């Protein structure tokens, strides 16, 4: 019997005074990934929808990412990478005077959970911190 591997998870948050609409216009448009992340969209589907696939380059490598969820102010993507099954999610929350960006990454490691916890997860956390800071800075007033 094989053990079910629970995903490792990291979340990062950032807030700004930009409206929900302004922040979502940036982060919700997956064709604009390269404006606030170090990822680049290589090929996009003709129409974004749940189940659609896109090729995204990250750290010099191209991978196919599938859209799991795409709805008002939320998207989730998943891909099989060298590290294992990686999920990425984005959600924009209206908090009244502020707008909060929530970025989440999950990893079901292909290899050692120890390496995933000590090397890959911290690297994912740093990447999400950079992305969140860039997104709220670009979206509008802090």
Contacts of 51 (CB under 8 A, 6+ apart): 66, 67
Between 1 and 77, the higher pLDDT residue: 77
The pTM of the full predicted model, rounded to 2 decimals, is 0.92
Closest CA to 70 of 43, 109, 44: 44
28-87 pLDDT, tens digit per residue, is 999 999 999 999 988 998 889 999 999 999 888 999 999 999 999 999 999 999 889 999
Partners of 71 in the β-ladder:
74
78-110 pLDDT, tens digit per residue, is 999 988 999 999 999 999 989 999 999 999 999
Contacts of 114 (CB under 8 A, 6+ apart): none
First to last CA, the chain: 51
Q: What's the per-residue H, E or C state across 2-68? A: CCCCCCEEEEEEEEECCCHHHHHHHHCCHHHHHHHCCEEEEECCCCCCCCCEEEEEECCEEEEEEEE
What domains are there in the chain, each with its CATH number?
8-29+68-139 (3.30.530.20)
């Amino acid at each position: 019997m094989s053990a079910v591997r629970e995903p490792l998870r990291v979340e990062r948050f950032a807030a700004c005074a930009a409206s929900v609409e302004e922040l979502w216009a940036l982060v919700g448009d997956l064709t604009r990934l390269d404006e606030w992340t170090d990822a680049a969209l290589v090929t996009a589907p003709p129409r974004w929808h749940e189940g659609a696939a896109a090729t995204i380059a990250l750290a010099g490598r191209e991978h196919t990412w599938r859209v799991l969820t795409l709805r008002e102010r939320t998207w989730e993507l998943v891909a099989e990478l060298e590290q294992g099954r990686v999920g990425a999610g984005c959600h924009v929350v209206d908090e009244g005077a502020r707008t909060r960006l929530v970025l989440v990454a999950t990893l079901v490691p292909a290899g050692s959970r120890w390496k995933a916890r000590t090397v890959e997860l911290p690297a994912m956390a740093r990447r999400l911190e950079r992305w969140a800071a860039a997104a709220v800075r670009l979206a509008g007033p802090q």
